[in-house]
Amino acid sequence: MSNADTTTQDQHAQAAQTTTGETVEEVRDEWADYDFGGEPMVSVEGLNVHYGSDHALKGVAMDIPDESVTALIGPSGCGKSTYLRCLNRMNDRIKAASVDGSVEVGGEEIYQDGTNLVELRKRVGMVFQAPNPFPKSIRDNIAYGPRKHGDIDTGLVSRLFGRDDREREDELVEQCLRDAALWDEVADRLDDNALGLSGGQQQRLCIARALAVDPDVLLMDEPASALDPIATAKIEDLIEELAEEYTVVVVTHNMQQAARISDQTAVFLTGGELVEYGDTDQIFENPESQRVEDYITGKFG
Ligand SMILES: Nc1ncnc2c1ncn2[C@@H]1O[C@H](COP(=O)(O)OP(=O)(O)OP(=O)(O)O)[C@@H](O)[C@H]1O
Ligand SMILES: [Mg+2]
């Protein structure tokens, strides 16, 4: 056996160790029972995702509590975005992806025949890395969802038949922009094109748009990674505020950010495994798994 082989074996043996000397399986059992108190908003069991023959997520189990921020961290390619997309079945749109396992949102299985995907994505909204407002006015961006779902109708025909939601729409637009900490910056230009906003403002607009359909869960995939430090700080503050009302699940490459804003942290590592999940303080200060400790202290990843 060559030296290189021995080193790789040693590394594997070491990777299977935990900082407290327990086996990986023992650690896994412990965090799988990790109790944050209360009912989970999202409950995931035995979740596997394949892209063709590529096994991208391996047997993930994870309960996510309501009214809190859960951070997903881990090296590039470990499956964070794949996992996030499972929570509102966005992977259904990727031809090569096959998903099996169970995901319950608010106690209801989303991977079953008859799940209404439009309703699901209303309940479980998503914000992406690059802000993607529609090339429409700020107002239209917010009102788009509620109009599409028929919650708001300001059309001429409806008005002729006596339904006029224009006032309600004004209120909703204001409320969502306030909740996304954007109102003060755009109140006097609601009819301007959203593409004229700065990147940070566009991202907060996308968050406001997601809030407009009254979701339970907000999924965010590196929502601040394209922004400067000031815009990032605003998004971080906003995420913490949103957690008073929503279940926020956020992927981030920035470990300080995860430590600052999240209540729970889940660490995915190469190979599509959820290696450890628990209170953010515990994960960053005293992780059970040696692999997680190495990742957090920058020894790999
Ligand atoms: N649409 C796709 N088709 C085929 N393979 C994919 C697809 N999306 C992701 N994968 C593969 O699945 C694995 C996990 O990818 P994913 O994008 O979930 O990782 P990630 O943790 O979000 O990475 P990053 O931090 O770079 O965003 C990778 O090996 C990736 O190549
Ligand atoms: Mg990703």
What are the pLDDT digits (tens) for 190-243?
A: 999 999 999 999 999 999 999 999 999 999 999 999 889 999 999 999 999 999
Residue 31 in tokens: 């965090």
Residue nearest to atom 29 of ligand 1 (CA): 77
Question: 227 C-alpha to center of ligand 1: Å?
Answer: 22
Instruction: Say what the pLDDT of residue 166 is.
Output: 83
Over residues 106-158, the pLDDT tens digits come to 999 999 999 999 999 999 999 999 999 999 999 999 999 998 887 777 777 77
- Ligand 2 mean position to 77 CA, how many Å? 7
Interval 289-298: pLDDT, tens: 999 999 999 8
CA-nearest of 109, 120, 102, 22 to 62 is: 102
Pairing of strands 124-127, 217-221: parallel
Closest atom of ligand 1 to CA, residue 84: 18
Identify whether 122 is part of a domain.
yes
Whole-number Å distance, alpha carbon 48 to ligand 1 midpoint, is 13
| Mean local confidence (pLDDT), 66-82 | 96
- Residues at CB less than 6 angstroms from ligand 1: 51, 54, 56, 74, 76-82, 94, 96
Closest ligand 1 atom, residue 268 Cα:
21
- Is residue 193 exposed (0-12), middle (13-18) or buried (19+ Cβ within 10 Å)? middle
Q: Whose C-alpha lies nearest to ligand 1, atom 1?
A: 94
Domains in the chain, number: 1
Distance 52 CA to ligand 1 centre (A): 12
Work out the pLDDT band at 3, boundaries 50, 70, 90.
very low
Quick check: is 143 in a domain?
no
Determine, yes or no, domain membership for 279: yes
In ligand 1, the atom with minimum distance to the C-alpha of 82 is 18
Question: Is residue 146 included in any domain, yes or no?
Answer: no
Residue of minimum CA distance from atom 12 in ligand 1: 56
String of DSSP letters for 23-83: -HHHHHHHHHT---SS-EEEEEEEEEEEETTEEEEEEEEEEEESSEEEEEE-STTSSHHHH
Residue 72's domain spans which residues? 19-134+215-296
E-assigned strand segments in the chain: 40-51, 54-65, 68-73, 97-105, 108-109, 124-127, 217-221, 247-251, 264-269, 273-279
Q: Is residue 210 part of a domain?
A: no
Nearest one of 258, 255, 261, 260 to 299, comparing CA atoms: 255
For residue 92, what is the domain's CATH number?
3.40.50.300
- Reply yes or no on whether the pLDDT at 24 is more than 80: no
Nearest residue (by CA) to ligand 1, atom 24, is: 76
Q: Which of 242, 228, 126 is nearest to 178 (CA)?
A: 242
* Proximal ligand: closest to the CA of 253: 1
Distance of CA 128 from the midpoint of ligand 1 (Å): 15
124 part of a folded domain: yes
Residue 49 lies in a domain: yes
Least distant ligand from the CA of 83: 1
Residue 144 lies in a domain: no
